[in-house]
């Protein structure tokens, strides 16, 4: 039995809407047993605390997040990320928890006949193969970028996750640092995400989300970013920048954010932040173009948010 075949016959998988799982089962990548998840008051919908912070159930549809007016006002980066994700049909079915826990989109992983690290194989075939859409920050043995747009946006907002086994998990706790090439997340077998908690918005904060894609609609982002900022007196007071599509996990662009804090909210500051966006990058032979996209996105979004 090949490693890829053994992987497909492994432990049971949870199914919420099944937008990703159904595709993997059609291809033969997944053929184990299924545990259907049933929504409960703790796992669906958006609730608010008195301090203005929000909790989102893991079984809440992406479309519900994208269309909620109060969420858009309090957390515009998360709302915009949800609006840009996939297609209207998928957004109405896909859940927030499913988006966070989805599996790699790498074409080698998605081929049931090819073994890779995430299927018990000995190496990452994308590293020496076709990796045109893969990482520009090479952090570990697997070079597939993490597919979750919502994880990237939630990272920018310092969201915390609660599972049926643990609470207070950060996005980094859930996904790791990119050095584990054998898994898409660090959930234990049988562990499921129940809700996501967002901190209360900062006074005067604003946020924007943008993505670079290879076609106009219904495409996975090549690079995407979410920028949060508090601007007072024409100066950046606090900045958070997260990026996706460039590494095995969503990344904070810490150098860019640090360069903005205390600086004038203008085009010159945006240009300086953009220059630092690629700090620590290690592109693959075919992914150097992503660094140009990242630099351009950071400059564009920071300029827009400064207006």
- Residues 125-142: pLDDT tens digits? 999 999 999 999 999 999
Phi, psi of 237 (to 5 degrees): -95, -35
CA-nearest of 150, 158, 122 to 63 is 150
> Which sequence spans correspond to the domains of the chain?
205-306
pLDDT of residue 256: 98
Exposure string over 22-57, b if 16+ CB within 10 A, otherwise e? eebbeeebbeeeeeebeeeeebbbbeeeeeeebbbb
* pLDDT tens track for 74-98: 999 999 999 999 889 999 999 999 9
Long-range contacts, stretch 122-125, CB < 8 angstroms, 24+ apart: 124/181
CB atoms within 10 A of CB 11: 8
Q: What's the pTM?
A: 0.94
Exposure string over 158-176, b if 16+ CB within 10 A, otherwise e? ebbbbbeeeeebebbebbb
| Confidence label for 1 from pLDDT (cuts 50, 70 and 90) | very low
Q: In 3-state terms, what secondary structure has residue 200?
A: coil
Distance CA 100, CA 184 (A): 9
pLDDT of residue 6: 55
pLDDT of residue 7: 55
* pLDDT tens track for 95-125: 999 999 999 999 999 999 999 999 999 999 9
Residue 276 bridge partners (DSSP):
none
* pLDDT tens track for 12-35: 899 998 888 888 998 888 888 999
Residue 265, CA distances (Å) to 156, 234, 307 in order: 19, 6, 8
Is a pLDDT exceeding 70 seen at residue 4? no
Contact 101, 185 (CB under 8 A): yes
CATH class name, domain 205-306: alpha beta
| Confidence label for 195 from pLDDT (cuts 50, 70 and 90) | very high
Distance CA 167, CA 193 (A): 10
* pLDDT tens track for 200-232: 999 999 999 999 998 776 678 999 999 999 999
């Amino acid at each position: 039995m090949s490693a890829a075949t053994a992987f497909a016959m492994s432990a049971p998988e949870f199914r919420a809407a099944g937008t990703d799982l159904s595709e993997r089962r059609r291809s033969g990548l997944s053929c184990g047993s299924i545990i259907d998840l049933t929504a409960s008051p703790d796992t669906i919908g958006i609730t608010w605390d008195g301090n203005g912070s929000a909790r989102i159930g893991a079984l809440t549809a992406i479309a519900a997040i994208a269309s909620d007016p109060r969420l858009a006002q309090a957390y515009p980066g998360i709302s915009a990320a949800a609006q840009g994700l996939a297609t209207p049909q998928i957004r109405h079915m896909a859940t927030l928890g499913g988006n966070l826990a989805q599996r790699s989109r790498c074409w080698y992983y998605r081929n049931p006949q090819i073994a890779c690290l995430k299927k018990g194989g000995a190496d990452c075939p994308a590293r020496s193969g076709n990796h045109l859409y893969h990482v520009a920050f090479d952090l570990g043995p697997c070079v597939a970028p993490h597919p979750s747009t919502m994880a990237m946006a939630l990272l920018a907002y310092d969201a915390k996750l609660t599972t049926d086994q643990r609470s207070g998990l950060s996005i980094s706790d859930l996904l790791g640092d990119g050095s584990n090439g054998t898994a898409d997340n660090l959930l234990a077998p049988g562990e499921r995400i129940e809700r996501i908690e967002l901190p209360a918005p900062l006074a005067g904060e604003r946020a924007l989300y943008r993505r670079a894609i290879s076609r106009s609609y219904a495409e996975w982002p090549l690079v995407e970013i979410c920028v949060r900022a508090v601007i007072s007196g024409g100066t950046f007071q606090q900045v958070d920048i997260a990026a996706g599509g460039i590494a095995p996990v969503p990344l904070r662009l810490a150098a860019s954010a640090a360069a903005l804090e205390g600086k004038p909210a203008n085009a010159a500051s945006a240009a300086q932040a953009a220059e630092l966006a690629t700090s620590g990058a290690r592109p693959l032979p075919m992914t150097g173009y992503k660094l140009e996209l990242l630099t351009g996105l950071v400059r564009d979004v920071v300029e827009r948010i400064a207006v």
